[in-house]
Amino acid sequence: GESVGLHLPTLSVQEGDNSIINCAYSNSASDYFIWYKQESGKGPQFIIDIRSNMDKRQGQRVTVLLNKTVKHLSLQIAATQPGDSAVYFCAENMSGYSTLTFGKGTMLLVSP
């Protein structure tokens, strides 16, 4: 069957490079954001989250930046490894709602 990654924007990097994946979110009232990683044939996996009262949050090798003025979210992956190859989704939540709205995703391809 077709891969979920077909027809998605693709970012190709070399192993060891830093990667930046971008996401434009839709609702200015959203106050919580998550990045997910989805490897081929698997379910999405949580990477990092950020609340709207922050503009930056760091994890292990990952940093999320939030620009509420232009409704933009980015995921930075330091020293990208072949195991980082996957589809990355952003998701947003509005306070008081129990659902997430997902972006369409970006495929990251890391060459050794």
Partner 1 sequence: NAGVTQTPKFQVLKTGQSMTLQCAQDMNHNSMYWYRQDPGMGLRLIYYSASEGTTDKGEVPNGYNVSRLNKREFSLRLESAAPSQTSVYFCASTRSYEQYFGPGTRLTVT
String of contacts with partner 1 for each residue 35-74, x by CB under 8 A: ------xxxxxx--x-------------------------
By CB under 8 A, tell whether 4 contacts partner 1: yes
By CB under 8 A, tell whether 27 contacts partner 1: no
String of contacts with partner 1 for each residue 80-99, x by CB under 8 A: ---------x---x----xx
What whole-number distance in Å separates Cα of residue 23 and Cα of residue 7? 16
Task: For the CB of residue 61, give the shortest distance to partner 1 in the complex, in Å.
Answer: 19
Other Cβ atoms closer than 10 A to 71: 15
CB 86 within 8 A of CB 75: no
82 phi, psi to nearest 5 deg: -55, -30
